[in-house]
A and B are shown apart, each in its own frame.
Chain A
Amino acid sequence: METTLNPRAEPKTGRRRSIWFRGLSEVGRWRLLSFGIALILIYVVIALVGPELAPYGPNATNAKATLQPPSSDFWFGTDKFGRDIFSRVLYATRLDLGIAFSVALSAFLIGATIGGLSGYFGGGVDDVVMRVVDVLLAFPAFILAMALTGILGDTVPNVIAAISIAYIPYFVRLTRGEMLRVRTRQYADAAVGVGNPRWRVMLVHLLPNSLTPAFIQVTLVLGWAILDAAGLAFLGLGITPPTAEWGVMVAEGAQRIITGEWWTWLFPGVAIVIIAFAFSIVGDGLRDLLAREER
């Protein structure tokens, strides 16, 4: 069977417990998880109302106040065009979170469907799907997204598409693996034996049970998507100036690395790291919860 001969067959998520599982007490784990969820909620709120609260517009240039360090007027300082960095960071939250959720949702929906169907029907269809997945996984995700974005062009939908395509294979493999595991279980046969048509069994019984590791992967992909989108923007791909996006801002700030105006790149980067951290903690926490229920 493929799994025994090829230990790499399935990416290792879902079933493995998180790094915090054996270390923290029950209370500690819940606290960590709540902390992560709280951070995510804060970001969502900022995404929704941030633009209203921002003291300046994202593109409001101010030739007299370029490259100012943080002050009471400009909490995060200003960039080379005199734009208020704090406001731009707030505005960028909406864009970056939007990208993250879009990527995670599309990759999950498309990937889980393909994976579930492929695992259920097996045979030639499954073989072809797995070969295509192998090809897509022959590239590191970021490199693939890089190439796709470069070729498709620099727009937000293209970035979302490029990153989603890079992560779809993960979901395909996860769901297919679960589907294979679940399909041979006795309750599936029982359901068919009692008279349920096969398609109904698949949809109602098998598919939902195959989705658990995929859900955990979603939280991970949320974080990775932001890091990738920002990383691409940093390289000048996908989202470009003057759009207010965290990666774009870091790229613009990078030009000032030698002259020392650290505030131009530090704050947007911190925004990225905090939300990536939060998604990572929530993903780990979910894995803990689901691992325990599994027994």
Chain B
Amino acid sequence: MPEPLLQIRSLRMDIRDHERSRSVLLDVNFDVRPNEVMGLVGESGSGKTMTALAIMRLLPPAATASEGKILFGGRDLLALSESEMRQVRGSEIAMIFQNPRASLNPLMRAGDQVARALQLHQDLPRSQLRRRSIELLQHVGISDAEARAKAYPHQLSGGMAQRVLIAIMLACQPALLIADEPTTGLDVTIQAQIFELIKEVQSEAGASLLLITHDLGVVSEVCQRVAVMYAGQIMEQAGVLDLFQRPSHPYTERLLGSILRVDEAKALDTSRAIAFASIDYDNAGCRFANRCPYVLDACWLRRPEPRWLSEGHVVFCHLRNQEAA
């Protein structure tokens, strides 16, 4: 098994909010391997974006990573100084966000923004910058790239703006790409195109992609492995096929059970529906406890030990641990 590119170990993140402190992330553990598309799946509020921001060290000042490590290229990213981290950003790990038009500088032309990324990360003579940025724009599927390069962000559609951002990421040539819900707010048809593009870009560059999404359908199409997150904790991590066919964690089961399929005559099974409850941040054990139909006493007390079901498939659940014993 190849050495993982990114390893997150027992990551904990607290946010100070109006005199209170909340553990937005608690004991997060997962890996990203080289040259793969890894999905990070969860509902809103599960902490997916926070995890990505933690990797990039782009957290708001109120947030502190109080425990854990993020290992990348043999270094703990959390231990780096700000200027060292700045070297890492872009050239080794790059990230694109939701809301593509807002992510571009409104006063700079699209081509110039790509050129700036090129200038920072590639050793190109100045005369080549313009040509190369137009090439990149073409590469990400923007027709009439030369004209589009002169456009300002407000003149671009959402889909085009996201392509520009992907071009910027490409210019950086990172080993790890992170995409946080890159297609929210875009047309469904454009969504499909963008995902195609991201996959292409990733495999061509031989980079890894950490795809953050709430959409299980996208995960099944695009990702090779996936981690399931809830309330700031990782519940399960597996290859995509494994996860969909043999889900282990109670949360994953229900998540998948909620998907209705056109080709199956399946009645809506409400017998094992989950009660709605807000996230219990004070629970230092398994935070799904207040919604889990199989909850045990141990679930309120401590985090479950990881249980390996097969190569690459791990689940964090007291019930599964108990069953195995």
Contacts and interface: CB of A to CB of B under 8 A. Distances in A.
Interface string A13-40: 0000000000001110000000000000
Contacts of B18: 25-26
Contacts of A26: 18-19
Please report whether the interface of chain A is mostly helix, strand, loop or mixed according to DSSP. Answer: helix
Contacts of A25: 18-19
Interface string B113-144: 00000000000000000000000000000000
A27 B18 CA distance: 9
Nearest to A25: B19
A26 B18 CA distance: 6
Contacts, number: 5
Interface in B1-30: 18-19
A25 B20 CA distance: 11
Contacts of B19: 25-27
Interface string B25-69: 000000000000000000000000000000000000000000000
B153 to A, nearest CB: 15
Nearest to A26: B18
A25 B18 CA distance: 7
A26 B16 CA distance: 12
Nearest to B17: A26
A25 B17 CA distance: 9
A25 B16 CA distance: 11
B111 to A, nearest CB: 25
A192 B79 CA distance: 61
A42 to B, nearest CB: 29
Interface in A33-77: none
Nearest to B16: A25
B245 to A, nearest CB: 43
Contacts of A27: 19
B213 to A, nearest CB: 25
A27 B20 CA distance: 12
A193 B18 CA distance: 42
Nearest to A27: B19
Interface string B177-213: 0000000000000000000000000000000000000
Going nearest first, the 4 A-B pairs with the smallest beta carbon separation are: A26-B18, A26-B19, A25-B19, A27-B19
Interface of A: 25-27
5 contacts: A25-B18, A25-B19, A26-B18, A26-B19, A27-B19
